[in-house]
Amino acid sequence: MIALINLAATTNIKNFPLLAEYGLSVIVFMILSSVAFFIPVAFVSAELASAIPERGLYTWVREGLGPRLGFTAIWLQWISNVIWYPTILSFIAATFAYLFDPELATNKIYIMCMVLATFWPITYMNFFGIRVSGWISSLTALLGTLIPIALIIILGFWWVIAGNPSQIEFSWKAVLPDLGSVNQLVLLSGVLLGLSGLEMSAVHALEVQNPRRSYPKAIFLSAVLVILFAVFGSLAIAVVVPTSEIQLASGGVEAFRYLFEKMGIEWATPILAAIMTFGALGMMSTWIIGPSRGLLATAEHGDLPPIFQRTNSHGMPVSILIAQAMIVTLLSSVFLFMPSVNSSYWILVALSSMLYMIAYILMFLAAIRLRKKMTAKKDAYHIPGGTKGLWVACLIGMCGAGFGLVIGFFPPSQLDTGSVFRLETFLIGGATLFFSLPFLIYKLRKPHWRPHA
């Protein structure tokens, strides 16, 4: 169960075009990312969740590092998701374009309009507490994720076995990445973001029979599955689509178009695009409300103004949802000012990743501070190696997250991001603004902000 939850949280075909930019060396990058980030996050969040299951990241950091940093951590988790929304929405827009005009997948104005035309209605739907039932959620996940991933991998193998020309070189030299250039490593920031979210599934650690033994096995199984799916899925795109033509928002469906044309079944492209769009829309509806509920939890401690503490008759945090949609609207304007959909997609991924990495660093620091409290919970899951094991996992995780944070500020050599000044202004300005806001809000707190004060 844990392995499947982790797989659903961290594996999506929309991440594969970014990985495909690395070609065969994606194998090394995925292994390094798993060891330096993916596995430490899983282990540490599992121990935290089994010892302190209430409220997740917010409670962990609040109890370990204090209320100010607790609020900062949940804010960073929320805002990084808000910044990430336009990227998944652009994936939906680009995929939907293949139903009638694939050329629109690279049209900046179309992408921006579709992002807004999709996000606001889904936000409004959540006002009414609409819940997609379990079987519908499973169906959208199956259609939008598992089927396309399995199909792209199978067709990728067929492409190579059938003797079709490969767009990448298969050799030991191609496996080894160029670690001498910082700009070559920049896309790792997006890779780490794609591996984020395991702290969400860690709350199920206690539901596993014999968690001390079973949970580590589930973690390693999910790590292997995530690596295999990501590697083979991205390589399937890389062997079919020339690197210079890979579109981050539509690379997956573009690879299907190449494959289907070669097979003489071009008519299958819009059908698959419709399936992927349906699946992504179903999952998007669920993602919108999740982080907002996390931020709403801080209102119980008076960390937000009263207007953001309000919920409607369905228990939905309407004010937060509206503020979230307004931020998404503002961020979507980046599609107009960047030179291409690719560059717009990347700059949002980079900013989202950097802020999420800071939240993870706070989580690792909190875990170290909470070690004694977690040890006292005899029934909780504990990282192998005891205190030393926890320290090792936290230090490795902080190094991995810190690397992802720093590397995100550099322009990637694989993509044309236009003016370096404009890129750095957006990244540095955005990171500074969104990181500073929680401290400012916390400092401006008023006694009447606390409910029932």
pLDDT at 442 over 50: yes
Rounded CA-CA distance 49/300 in Å is 20
Alpha-carbon dihedral 111, 287, 41, 220, rounded to 10 degrees:
-100
Specify the range with the lowest mean pLDDT, choosing from 44-48, 60-64, 299-303: 299-303
Q: Which position has the higher pLDDT, 187 or 109?
A: 109
pLDDT at 134 over 50: no
| pTM metric for this prediction | 0.86
Contact 159, 365 (CB under 8 A): no
Q: How many domains does the chain have?
A: 1
Rounded CA-CA distance 26/385 in Å is 31
In a domain, 453, yes or no: no
pLDDT at 305 over 90: no
Rounded CA-CA distance 195/190 in Å is 9
Specify the range with the lowest mean pLDDT, choosing from 48-62, 129-143, 223-237: 129-143
What is the average per-residue pLDDT within 200-213?
62
pLDDT at 359 over 90: yes
**What is the pLDDT at residue 148?**
86
DSSP H or E segment with residue 184: helix 182-185
In a domain, 274, yes or no: yes
Q: What percent of the chain has pLDDT over 90?
A: 15
What is the average per-residue pLDDT within 256-281?
83
In a domain, 282, yes or no: yes
**What is the pLDDT at residue 132?**
44
Range of the domain at 200: 2-445
What is the average per-residue pLDDT within 218-247?
82
What is the average per-residue pLDDT within 234-259?
83
What is the average per-residue pLDDT within 339-360?
89
**What is the pLDDT at residue 208?**
64
Report the candidate in 26, 358, 334 with the shortest Cα–Cα distance to residue 184.
Answer: 26
Tens of pLDDT, residue by residue over 390-406, are 999 999 999 999 999 99
**What is the pLDDT at residue 4?**
63
Secondary structure of residue 353 in the 3-state scheme: helix
For the chain, how many helices (H) and strands (E)?
Answer: 22, 0
**What is the pLDDT at residue 360?**
94
**What is the pLDDT at residue 212?**
62
Report the candidate in 331, 277, 26 with the shortest Cα–Cα distance to residue 144.
Answer: 277
User: First and final CA of the chain: distance in angstroms?
Assistant: 42
Domain harbouring 68, CATH code = 1.20.1740.10
In a domain, 450, yes or no: no
What is the average per-residue pLDDT within 259-281?
83
Long-range contacts of 148-151 (CB under 8 A, 24+ apart): 148/13, 148/252, 148/256, 148/272, 148/275, 148/276, 148/279, 149/11, 149/13, 149/229, 149/233, 151/256, 151/272
DSSP H or E segment with residue 86: helix 67-97
pLDDT at 414 over 60: yes
Rounded CA-CA distance 296/290 in Å is 10
In residues, how long is the chain? 453
Specify the range with the lowest mean pLDDT, choosing from 22-31, 221-230, 376-385: 376-385
In a domain, 452, yes or no: no
Rounded CA-CA distance 97/101 in Å is 5
Binning pLDDT at 50, 70 and 90, where does residue 200 land? low
Tens of pLDDT, residue by residue over 76-92, are 988 998 998 898 888 88
Rounded CA-CA distance 196/190 in Å is 10
